[in-house]
Structure 1
Amino acid sequence: MTNEPKGGSPTRRSVIVAGAATAASAAFPMPALRAQTREIRFLNAEPAVDSVRALRVAAAQYEKEKGVRVVIDTVPSGDAYTRTVAAIRGGRPYDISTLIFVAHVLTLANEGQLTPITDLVNKHKWGKRILFPVNGQHYWYMYDYNLCWLFYRKDLYDQAKLERPKTWAQLLENSRRLASTDGGSQRFGMATPIGSNDATNWMSLGYLWAEGVSLFDKDWTNTFASDENRRRTAAYLDFFGDLAKTMPPGMTQATFGTITAAFSAGQAAHAPYAGRLIEVLEQRAPQLADKYGMMPYPDSAGKAAAVNHGYDGWVVGKTAMAEEAVRFLEWFSDAHYINFLHSAPLHFQPPRLDIYDDARWRAHPLIEKHAEAVKTMQGFLDDPAITIRSIDTEGPVPDLRPAKVFESFVFPEMLQNKVLKNMPSEACVAEAVAKMNRVIAA
């Protein structure tokens, strides 16, 4: 995304906690097929100027070459699913929509509102854990990863003669050592959100995935409730409670922009984020644009590491122009996809593996300048030791149960119980397990 990742709105993934699957079947009648107007309606959820421009240039060229008009409507990413549903209800569905949550794709696919694009998806080789088939069919053309990892101030590490941490204890010690008050300005060791919002779900849980915590097994049993996962999570909370003491005040209200501002202003020595943060440094703090390092979330023992999952993609609606919309996506993926990626060159991490070797993609000045960062990002996909997980992608197949856990802020509330209420870690975990069970059963 070209705004703050996963959208700037308070709730990026408005699902289904209130029974959206049932609501979908009741409220989404199969749309009446509109007359063949030779027009494709495309709902874009990347509202940054450069991204909109890239799509409109592609649309103009497609009309010139194919005689088919492509109308680009743009909304904030947090509004994409709502607008998609509203268009279906209104009897004029979008031919192509941007969706940013696997549960939304699952819901619409199960309601018969999407056209499979399996042949198009299978034309390419994709990175790990980025395709989410539904009943053996692909409905989602993924255009980027929004992986979240940890940034650190490499210059401060060099000055303090610190090594890149491989364990929670080392990260905590480094955060403590780099917190300082100098000339009246205060620097904190870490900036990480702990509020009941998407930012916390995305930025603060990578340590759990590194530690091997899981939420569901292949039979959809709540494995988070197991003794082993309770123990691992309690240890994480002990660590996080200490780490929170190195953070700026107000982390319960922190969102995506709060974290980028803290790191780019030199207020925090460590911060979680995606490639967007590098672009922010280039724009707002160029003096720091060569002073950052990147690393995955460590585990407690220095044996494993993880990044938190994120993703965005396009779907084709079940419309009269669906066949033409698939042709447009195929044409776009060859002719203009790289131009679109260049509209956020370090934030739009390609999910298609062929892009990394494409000289056209590598020719962007920021990709060339930050080649080491790009190598690290690609390494997250290539390294089998790096785990890529998130709440909403837990489980053996796409399903609404992890989506409900995500939307209910089970884990942000667990962090708040530890950090704000100073509850014993085991009690925080027990409450999270109980809430998770309630949410799944609802």
Structure 2
Amino acid sequence: MAVQRGRTGTVAAVSALGLTAALAGCGLTGDSGDVTLKLVAADYGDSSANSSQKYWDSLAKEYEAKHEGVRVDVSVYSWSDVDRKVKELVEAGDAPDMAQIGAYADYADAGQLYKADDLVSIPVQADWISQLSNAGEVKGVQYGMPFAASTRLLFYNKTLFTQAGLTPPTTWDELAQDAQALKSEGVKYPYALPLGPEEAQAETMQWLLGGGGGYTDTLGTYSIDSTENTDTFTWLRDNLVAKKLTGPVAPGKLDRADAFAAFAKGQVGMLNGHPSLMGMAEDKGVKFGMVPMPGENGQNKISMGVADWMTAFKQNGHAEQIGDFLDFVYSEKNVLAFSRKYDLLPVTESASEVMSTDKRDADLKPFLDELPLSETYPVGETSWAQVSAAVKKRIGAAVTPTGNPAAVLSQLQATATSAQNTP
């Protein structure tokens, strides 16, 4: 998130690890023999008022009241820091019992994580949405437990579209035509294309899928420099960026958070967004619509999905207590409460069924509808972290007016191949 992952992901919404997690130690409190479970979690809130720390503290208090002898100590960090903080704790030999983070494959490959079926009950495992639980696997074994999810839709400013006499696009050519019309009306960002270092991997993947490509082929091998992907970024360069339809900030310099903020100010005609953008726009009084992201020849049949992950480290040996706590975390009641609080998609079938029919969740239904059709990052590859970082750093150069998409994608492919082949 990422679901931002911003997900962007992000989803974006951001989370990080708690400072007190560095004090995890052996996980025992005093001489009582009581177990203290250390959890590092990401912050999905956008202020102290709705910080994830409050959510987790309340959840831990409720659990502890029914489980004498077990304490749950939660530390929350922003998404900018969370993965780094967990890495530091693990490298210092002080791993938390659980970490709710964006990636897990490196830890699984190093033998540091419990398998999911060593922890949670069979009913909980069976309730996870299948493509998310499958995405949590490394070499066919599940280590990453899906915790939160999001998909992407094309957001458009209804007021600006009405003024320009437009209807939402269903193809890339229609999107470019709408962007040109918006530009003629003086719209600052006809289509906001955030390929800056914050979450470029998300915007990139959505466009690759729309062009019939992606980061990997059907066998899971990186195919970043495929003909389809090269054609996609050539189209972006020639039909949006070169025609100055992406706004005053170069795509490679535009971050997702800034693009969202501009949309909430009424300065953006269209952009690729996740559920958290709804609240931002509503708070500023922006009237918006949402439709599936256009593809090259029609509405994209495959959407980008983002999941954030719960992981459990073996170091302190609390498998039984971790599993019992996670069964509680993944109860329908708690999954619904978290998803509703942060405008995220539930990762369980039971909670999804409730939200798909409950009127209070009607604004999330378009995103829920996309989830079964979504494709996630190749997070099960230990190389993905390195590849994602390279995409964030380099992909913006592919769409500059003088950029060479084939050369940039070839460089990224070389990075991916090297990372995938490194033991």
Identify which of 168, 173, 179 aligns with 2:177: 173
Confirm or deny that 1:341 pairs with 2:323.
Answer: no
Query: Which residue matches 2:194?
Result: 193
Q: Is 1:209–1:387's contact at 8 Å kept on the other side of the alignment? A: no
Confirm or deny that 1:147 pairs with 2:141.
Answer: no
Pair 1:144–1:419, CA change in 2 (3 A): same
Q: Which amino acid aligns with 2:37?
A: I
- In 1, the alpha carbon distance for the partners of 2:253 and 2:225 equals 29
Query: Which residue matches 2:21?
Result: none
Pair 1:207–1:306, CA change in 2 (3 A): farther
Confirm or deny that 1:381 pairs with 2:358.
Answer: no
Identity %: 19
Query: Which residue matches 1:75?
Result: 77
Confirm or deny that 1:38 pairs with 2:35.
Answer: yes
Q: Is 2:39–2:73's contact at 8 Å kept on the other side of the alignment? A: yes
Shift of 1:62: 1.4
Pair 1:99–1:424, CA change in 2 (3 A): closer
Query: Which residue matches 1:249?
Result: 249
Confirm or deny that 1:304 pairs with 2:285.
Answer: no
Residue by residue, what CA displacement relative to the aligned partner does 1:229-261 show, whole Å, maximum 9, x if unpaired?
544553454334346534232543322320111
In structure 2, runs of 5+ residues without a counterpart are: 16-23
Query: Which residue matches 1:128?
Result: 131
- In 1, the alpha carbon distance for the partners of 2:183 and 2:200 equals 22
Q: Which amino acid aligns with 2:72?
A: V
Q: How many residues are aligned here?
A: 395
Identify which of 384, 390, 397 aligns with 1:408: 390
Query: Which residue matches 1:423?
Result: 403
Query: Which residue matches 1:98?
Result: 100
Q: Is 1:149–1:297's contact at 8 Å kept on the other side of the alignment? A: yes
Pair 1:33–1:110, CA change in 2 (3 A): farther
Shift of 1:32: 8.7
- In 1, the alpha carbon distance for the partners of 2:248 and 2:107 equals 41
Shift of 1:320: 2.8
Question: TM-score normalised to the size of structure 1?
Answer: 0.78
1:58-73 superposed matches below 5 A: 58-67=59-68, 68-73=70-75
- In 2, the alpha carbon distance for the partners of 1:55 and 1:122 equals 22
- In 2, the alpha carbon distance for the partners of 1:46 and 1:268 equals 27
Query: Which residue matches 2:20?
Result: none
- In 2, the alpha carbon distance for the partners of 1:248 and 1:155 equals 21
1:205-216 superposed matches below 5 A: 205-216=205-216
Q: Which amino acid aligns with 2:195?
A: I
Q: Is 2:38–2:97's contact at 8 Å kept on the other side of the alignment? A: yes
Q: Is 1:306–1:389's contact at 8 Å kept on the other side of the alignment? A: no
Secondary structure class of the residue paired with 1:266: coil
Residue by residue, what CA displacement relative to the aligned partner does 1:395-439 show, whole Å, maximum 9, x if unpaired?
xxx212343221112x7624424315x135545555554555555
Q: Is 1:151–1:294's contact at 8 Å kept on the other side of the alignment? A: yes
Residue range with higher mean Cα deviation, 156-165 or 71-80: 156-165
Secondary structure class of the residue paired with 1:343: helix
Q: Is 1:45–1:77's contact at 8 Å kept on the other side of the alignment? A: yes
Q: Is 2:182–2:190's contact at 8 Å kept on the other side of the alignment? A: yes
Q: Is 1:117–1:139's contact at 8 Å kept on the other side of the alignment? A: yes
Q: Is 2:161–2:269's contact at 8 Å kept on the other side of the alignment? A: no
- In 2, the alpha carbon distance for the partners of 1:89 and 1:187 equals 46
Pair 1:223–1:123, CA change in 2 (3 A): closer
1:14-53 superposed matches below 5 A: 35=28, 36-46=33-43, 48=45, 49=48, 50=50, 51-53=52-54
Pair 1:389–1:87, CA change in 2 (3 A): closer
Shift of 1:124: 0.4
- In 2, the alpha carbon distance for the partners of 1:159 and 1:258 equals 24
